[in-house]
Structure 1
Amino acid sequence: MPTPPLHMRRIGFDPAPELAEVRDGGARLVDLPQGDRVWLVTRIADVREVLGDPRRFGNSAPHLVPGAPALSEEELALVRPGNLLGFDPPEHTRLRRLVAGEFTGRRMRLLQPRIHRIVADRLDELERGGPPADVVAGFALPIPSLVICELLGVPYADRDDFQRRAATFFDVGLSGEQRVAIALESRAYLTELVARARVEPGDDLLGVLVASDLRDDELVGLGDLLLLAGHETTANMLGLGVLALLEDPARRERMCEEPDAAVEELLRWLTVVHTGVPRVCLTDVELGGRVMRAGDLVVCSLPAANRDPDLVADPDELDLSREPVGHVAFGHGVHHCLGAPLARMEMRLAFPALLARFPGLHVLPQELHFRTQQVVYGLEALRVAW
């Protein structure tokens, strides 16, 4: 298996030690597998500066997936409409304003009882199957998949296909042609879904947004982003999070007692998204003691930033009693993850429910395989018993 690029290297739960070395020395020029030379930024202050200033660091680089080949203009035209990751203000502001309200308040309140039911159903399935069980396949993967189905109005029978698309899309080893093929397949499905919503709108997200000023291709792009990013990130947080919680009985107790704070610390410590979309310098800028030129690409290491001693004391320790801090697991600034409230809700409900249902839950002896070649870090499987 090829060595992942530096910003994706980990040892178990932890970012590779080389990332701490980069953080101590400021930004560093590194090579990505496809030959691009980029600035790697790892300090929490520098990461916030890059992510928080779209006037100097643009989000319109031709690399929607770090480490993957740059997309051609034709490919960008295919995947960019409606994809918030591909735009800067003011176009980003227009798109986000139209959809942001659906991820707070009423929509989240409507989803909460359904998420409770989805979690309970998956736990029932695990219990019926009996131990041993794979908590990734039986718990971590299906819960966010079903939640996104509920949010968008996707028929449950279609969930296996978009899980497959999500898993393959985030593999940095894909060629440009393979990535475009997946994008075409996904967008064809979403186009059909949007067309049905136009004719017969429901009370799901697409049903509401068809009444907005969003074009059909923008609705398709937004749905595609939610299906891919919304499922993959939460699923990997759930899988890795279970492994981390089961390492220490005190962590289990804390998660059940104070899930809000515990989830925030897990988000900081695990940070399953290695980096956001690469930024491009729009002007010459000095950062991390280095001069970056207009046109240079910048990649921010989110796990390294969240383990920065300038953010928290003892940053490599998972302390679920820690007061929540301003971590960057969901990004920062105008591109802060739109679905963060939904992801938090899923974890706050799912982790305590799993631990309460199976008080004797424990990890079985096994060789753990981490998803080292994926843009979103996680576990391939986790065998447990109770």
Structure 2
Amino acid sequence: MRLPHSFIPSLLAIPQLVVGATNTTFDDSDSSFTFTGSWNTITPSSPCSFCASSPDPSQARNGTWHDGNTRNPASGSFTFIGSGVYIFGIDQATLEPNIVFTLDNIEHVHRYTGSELYICNALFFSADGLASDQTHTVNWVLNFVDTAGVDVQAALFDYAVVTSGNPEIPRSAVSTTSIQFASNVTQLNLASLVNLQERPRRPLTVPATPPSTISDPRSLSKPHTGAIAGGIVGALLVSILVVLASWFYCRGRHHLESATAKAAVLQPLRLEDYPHRFTPDIPKAGDSHQRKPEHTPGSRLRHRNSPSGAENGGPFGTSPLQENHIYVPDDSEFPASALIAPPSAPTHPPNGGDLHFLEQRLATLEAQVALGQQPPPYVTGEDD
């Protein structure tokens, strides 16, 4: 059994149906970051002993961050290609200035006003719905905030996450629509970008508490490979089961047709196929002697194992299978009174063609007996 040609490309096209986004993490030491002004680079091999901020290095990504203060003008930028960007750092109480971010026509101000000393993996800035095939640059500057007893304020930048490819579909959209095509997603992204460009430039203020929507920002850097792989494997298993079920069904149907064709080859031997029948003369109880069976002129068949057959020998000669072979005796063996012609039977003896046909039918009967099949009923008689 061969698989349909149209079914194989459908199996190969299954991985192409999976649509998703990929998140890439850039550490602060990556060349995508640019720091201008008064910045200190902190690494495990070169810690900053004179910096006012000293968070736990094990909580920072790769143990590195950039420390920028307001004593001298400090600014920076991050360049990327993708549809979304997320910049993370380390928040600190009372020592953090206003960090003013700008991206195209978007402006955002971040400052932590809580009381916790250090908060790692804090989201400083985020933007999504951007054109995924264009280069974008996020810029920021540090502005000092008047605080009693504080002369210098610092901002700690840790890493950034960039989303590339098609953005992920929100869960609310998945509940109502099972399939989302990439073209529709692109149109939504372009519409969102147009709306963002039409908004006027205005400063935004970040609330005191960090956003609660992102419990673990590092998870953004991991692509959703588990869900994609699960979908591919599930679709392949379903396709394989469908192919196996179709193959077993066609195979069983082929065997059934073959058995039916073989059964039609062997036809049972039916007495109604012969117009001339042998009518035996069965002696009744009380008869003092046996009578010879009466034979019609149209059906002059006789068993070879009868007494008269043994005497005359028959025209076919002797054979080991004497009980199965027959011969046609001459009319002189029977008296004229023993020849009885039924009204509907012809009066002439069978010709050579009828005898040949009868021999073929007897050969079929022998084949059925050899195969263990039940032979059809036939008329028996006792000869002298």
Q: TM-score, normalised by structure 1?
A: 0.18
More strand by share: 2
Q: Which has the higher contact order (CA 8 A, sep 6+)?
A: 1
Q: TM-score, normalised by structure 2?
A: 0.18
Structure with max Cα Rg: 2
More helix by share: 1
